[in-house]
Amino acid sequence: MSDQFIPNITTELRKDIVKVPEAIQEASGIIIFGKKIRSIIYTTDIAIIRNTNANAVIAVYPFTPHPAITKSIIEAADIPVFSGVGGGLTQGSRAIYMSLFAEAQGSIGVVLNGPTPVETVREVGKVVDIPVISTVTSAYSLIEEKLEYGVKIINISAGEETPEVVAYFRKMYPELPIIATGGPTDKSIRATIQAGANAITYTPPSNGELFSKKMDLYRQQELDKYKELH
């Protein structure tokens, strides 16, 4: 049997999933607790999380983190979950408790927002036994102290400048694990990987956008059936 042959098993009901771009497979990946992670889907939509071929999910959202949200996502997911635990407005004790909850519920890592104070980073690093991830939004983000106090991975989300920011931090920290947004195209994903990203986050279409395409298909099927009968 050829080494290139990879059996692909699915069912009729599960073939229509959200697939991450193939270009992400060119990333080196990050091995966390024995699991290699290259592709990370950025969503809190449980239906999408249950129907994707991504290696992991990053569940961060623009609201105060809550244990019920973290618990729901982890229970529904069949892939590892990186859980957002605040750090911007939600600092200090709440971010620390959220980190403990996230680990207890099964998160593979906790994600702190860019503005998180070093003091909060330090305390989170003391209490959890899973990777602490710090979000980086520009080349001006100060991460040296955060790395000293327990951050193991950085998550770069710098818009169109992401490849440049990845290259900047890769030059500073040759062995630092870097997750980064890949952008909308294979070209932008490859640029981010070539700049030094080990894993890529992918933002999928919304549930509404995906279902809209399916509704178009249903309408066409109904039209075809009507024409056949008349």
**What's 46's domain CATH number?**
3.20.20.70
Q: Is 216 helix (H, G, I), strand (E, B) or coil?
A: helix
1 domain residue, yes or no: no
81 domain residue, yes or no: yes
Residues spanned by the domain of 145: 22-205
| Element holding 153 (H helix, E strand) | strand 151-156
Comparing C-alpha atoms, which of 155, 151, 97 is closest to residue 121?
A: 151
Residue-wise pLDDT tens for the chain (230 aa)?
A: 456 788 888 888 777 899 999 999 999 999 999 999 999 999 999 999 999 999 999 999 989 899 999 999 999 999 999 999 998 766 788 999 999 999 999 999 999 998 899 999 999 999 999 999 999 999 999 999 999 999 999 999 999 999 999 999 999 999 999 999 998 899 999 999 999 999 999 999 887 787 777 787 778 778 778 778 87
Cα-only R_g, the chain: 20
Q: How many C-beta atoms lie closer than 10 Å to residue 158's C-beta?
A: 18
CA dihedral 7, 11, 13, 16 (to 10 degrees): 20
6 domain residue, yes or no: no
Q: How many C-beta atoms lie closer than 10 Å to residue 73's C-beta?
A: 24
10 domain residue, yes or no: no
pLDDT value, residue 3: 64
The secondary structure of 38-88 as a DSSP string is -EEEE---HHHHTSB--SEEEE--SS---HHHHHHHHHH-SS-EEEE---S
Q: Where are the alpha helices (DSSP H) in 80-201?
A: 92-105, 118-127, 144-148, 162-172, 186-195
Write down the pTM of the prediction: 0.90
Strands 178-181, 81-84: pairing kind: unpaired
Place of tokens 């549930």: 207
36 domain residue, yes or no: yes
Total number of domains constituting the chain: 1
177 domain residue, yes or no: yes
Comparing C-alpha atoms, which of 86, 50, 44 is closest to residue 65?
A: 86
146 domain residue, yes or no: yes
Comparing C-alpha atoms, which of 177, 189, 169, 175 is closest to residue 131?
A: 177
CB 124 within 8 A of CB 98: no
185 domain residue, yes or no: yes
